[in-house]
Amino acid sequence: MLTRRIGSLEVSVIGVGCNNFGRRLDPEATTKVVDAAIGEGINFFDTADIYGGTKSEEYLGKALGKRRSDVIVATKFGMKVDENRRGARPEYVLQAAEDSLKRLGTDYIDLYQLHEPDPTVPISETLGALDELVKAGKVREIGCSNFTLDQLREADSAAKPKAAHFVSVQNEYSLFHREPELEILPECGSTGMAFLPYFPLANGMLTGKYRKGQPAPDGSRIGSGWHGELLTEKNLDVVEKLIEFAKGCDRTILDLAFSWLLTRPMVASVIAGATSADQVRANANAGTWHLSDLDLETINKIAPVKTS
């Protein structure tokens, strides 16, 4: 498994999104996914305090056990856990970190990310608390998520010299959502910040499970109403064309989705959720297609970036 860097961290180019842990997966099933990931050379696990109603961190920590130091654990804070646990006030940042450390069963977090901007708190104050965690050895690197270009630049300007600053940004990015190419990816390219795409498979649209003229599979995310607006004739036409292109190269649309993202050097790791060991193994082997310039040109015609 190839690796790329997030600040001082070296992460596998394929990671595991842990949003299913504690939600769709119990502790035993979580452990099977974690075991399979480590067996495939994956060392990057991305979770959050809100995932699985706070159970994701707990299940991940137990599944890792004595292997904690062999992997990179990223988690997030800031979205609403309950009425008292939310936002980016300095005192809450410190408490949220302690809560995550306890649930994870560890004494440090590799990458601690602000899950969303908090407009009620100056970013300088949040960064100050995060720097305190880094200096205390409780956090190794810090990142952000769902930030705009202006918010990234504001955070960079607010970070004090020799203090912790955001080394990564995690925003939605896939063949169906190419907006980051307009501003965020160029900024990452010029500053050296790592980019982490979430929803890299567009909520399953890029797995091949949703096909034109066929009903959505029972129990599937979109089939059960989650982001059902994606199932349009236009989107399904794009899916069919991408499947046909991949098939012509003796590949799958899953291979295409992962490998296309990894053509961007600023993308450090493609983190996708998984509910089984087989799914993890498929994801782990999906990023090995070296797309040519001609391939990328064809893909751009099928799923072009939208400028407005």
State both tokens at 19. Answer: 């949003």
Give me the long-range contacts of 64-72 (CB less than 8 A, separation at least 24). 64/34, 67/38, 68/105, 68/106, 70/38, 70/43, 71/38, 71/43, 71/44, 71/45, 72/6, 72/9, 72/10, 72/11, 72/43, 72/44, 72/45, 72/110, 72/111
Say which residue the tokens 């407005």 belong to: 308
- From the list 51, 59, 92, 112, the catalytic residue is 51
Nearest to 15 by CA among 75, 72, 55: 72
Q: Is 112 a catalytic residue?
A: no
Query: Distance between CA atoms of 80 and 82, rounded to whole angstroms?
Result: 5
Q: Between the CA of residue 267 and those of 6, 12, 39, 42, what are the distances in Å?
A: 9, 11, 23, 16
DSSP 3-state of 269: coil
Say which residue the tokens 């961290």 belong to: 9
Active site residues: 51
